[in-house]
Amino acid sequence: MRRTVWNTAKVEPAWQFDYYRSGLCESFAHLTPHKPTEGDRFSATVEHWVGHGTEFTFLGTSSHRVSRSRGDIAKVGDDDFYLNFIQRGEMHLDQFDVRQLLRRGDFVVIDNAHTFDAQIKADGGHRHLAFRMDRRKFSGGAMELSCRLKSHPLAPALRHTLAYLCHIDQNWDSDHLTSVIAAIESLVSVIASGEAPDANPSRAHATLHNVQRIISARFGDPEFSLDEVADQLRMPRRSLQKHLQLCGYNFSAMLLEARLALAHLMLIRSDDNACIEEICFRCGFNELSTFYRAFKSHFGIPPGALRNRLADPEAGSSERATNPDGSGD
């Protein structure tokens, strides 16, 4: 496959947003990115892969808004679906008068034949994958396909495979890359063409709410587990997992999300002087190394580097200029 990269770190600051816009419009169908507030620093990397009937793009940026307007649609015809997977950060998506908040690990199908507006939130770095899909292969609209993908028992497998593709490397063997792409396309095809899972959505969402409540109260305990939740809800472990899968969730990911959210809050609060080791254990992590790896993977920056950036904004600006995607050692 052919790989093309647009990296704003390679151009003068005054031209970075225009360079990003040209790369975005060339790798996607025509879109309209909206320039951040004057004075806000902006960085972006657009990585486009195409070949063998497959096309996907990785987008890593600072916070900003991007939309597809009626003018964009008229200018460049593209009525394909795009399966968007959030690797880092958040996205507020508005399409078909429905507003969705997408966080790490979430995915959604966007219909490029219709207008949409996406607000990208990049605190700690944002990166997402947009995987082009030929709409002629699917019956129904993008919203229906999104709901089916999220609620199907195979949703965790699709999420895992999309996350794996996000770690693509130029050194990947072509056969290996082809097999990963084939796995994604096969999962989407099976889910889209199959019958909806035989389960009660209302009951599943009630279970999800209860699990979220229990996690909020217990995530600081390093021994806290799915079995404890199942016991508290008086449900078989397998039934509990199926209810979460139906809602597009995974217990381990939910638990990790809660722990990392508190850790991030403790690091950015100026009135919290807890050392990183104390934060690690207060948030339910057993080992400091595990905490460091999880935090960097989720936020794109190690916990110590985030605290240093907040303490010394000038140093953080220099770091972001060197590493536009927010990554660090």
- pTM of model > 0.75: no
Residue whose pair of structure tokens reads 């063998």 in the numeric block:
52
**Which band of pLDDT confidence, cut at 50, 70 and 90, is reported for residue 324?**
very low
Same domain for 49 and 140, yes or no, is: yes
Please tell me whether residues 57 and 144 are part of one structural domain: yes
For 37-67, the pLDDT digits (tens) are 766 678 999 999 998 889 999 999 999 999 9
Q: Residue 135 domain-assigned? A: yes
The model's confidence at residue 299, banded by pLDDT at 50, 70 and 90, is confident
Cα(179)–Cα(197) distance, integer angstroms: 27
Burial of 3 (0-12, 13-18, 19+ CB in 10 A): exposed
One domain, residues 189 and 206: no
Place of tokens 């093309």: 4
Considering the domain architecture, whether residues 181 and 229 belong to the same structural domain is answered as: no
In which domain, by residue range, is 275 found?
A: 264-329
**Domain identity same for 81 and 152:** yes
**Using one digit for the tens of pLDDT, what is the confidence trace for 135-174?**
888 887 888 888 888 888 888 889 999 999 999 987 888 8
72 within some domain: yes
Query: Residue 272's domain is classified under what CATH number?
Result: 1.10.10
How many domains does the structure of the chain reveal? 3
Find all residues with CB under 8 Å of 66, minimum gap 6, and list them.
24, 31, 32, 33, 34, 117, 118, 120
Specify whether the backbone of 309 is left (phi greater than 0), alpha (psi in -120 to 50) or beta: alpha
Contact predicate 80/56, CB 8 Å: no
Verify that 129 and 274 share a domain, yes or no. Answer: no
Q: Where among 152, 175, 193 does a domain terminate?
A: 193
> In this structure, is residue 258 part of a structural domain?
no
Looking at the fold, whether 7 and 145 belong to one and the same domain comes out as yes
Residue 257 placed within a domain: no
Q: Do 224 and 305 lie in a common domain?
A: no
State which amino acid sits at residue 218.
R
Mean pLDDT of 76-86: 87
pLDDT in tens, 233-269: 988 888 888 888 877 788 999 999 999 989 998 888 7
302, part of any domain = yes
Question: How much is the pLDDT for 271?
Answer: 67
User: Per residue in 183-229, pLDDT tens?
Assistant: 999 889 888 876 444 445 667 888 888 999 999 999 999 999 999 99
Among 190, 230, 184, CA closest to 207: 230
pLDDT in the model for residue 150: 84
Nearest to 101 by CA among 112, 110, 90: 90
Q: What is the pLDDT of residue 23?
A: 81
